[in-house]
Amino acid sequence: MKETRLGEFEEVILLLVGILGEEAYAFKIAEEFESQTKRAVSIGAVHSTLNRLGDKGFLTSEMGKSTPERGGRRKRIYTITASGQRVLQIARDFKLSLWDQFPAFSTGKLSFGK
């Protein structure tokens, strides 16, 4: 029995994988996380989460190309699976519905860009 809920950090990482597309590998994701959130994170922590998301079936990965600054080593590129997309969708919908129920912030007063 695998757990299929999404934690906050997991959600962000999953989104970042989607955003980075072809460039979604552990170092880049960690770097992007830091620049977007201004929070420090270690590559190990990101890698561990990616691994967990893989176990839950939200991500797949395969080895990609190598570059000179990596000492000629290949990188592992992650991509979101269908169930990954679904779980993101569910998370978003759930939160939006919560926002809508909160009278002070209900739609119309706050814009979510859409």
Which residues contact another protein (rule: CB under 8 A)? 25-27, 30-31, 42-45, 47-48, 51-52, 63, 66-67, 69-71, 73-76
Phi, psi of 76 (to 5 degrees): -100, 115
Nearer to another protein, 54 or 105 (CB): 54
Least separation in angstroms between CB 57 and another protein? 16
d(CA 80, CA 85): 7
Retrieve residue 62's tokens: 């395969």
Nearer to another protein, 72 or 108 (CB): 72
Nearer to another protein, 8 or 69 (CB): 69
Cα maximum dimension of the chain: 55
Residue type, 39: R
Residue 59 forms beta bridges with which residues? 80
Least separation in angstroms between CB 20 and another protein? 14
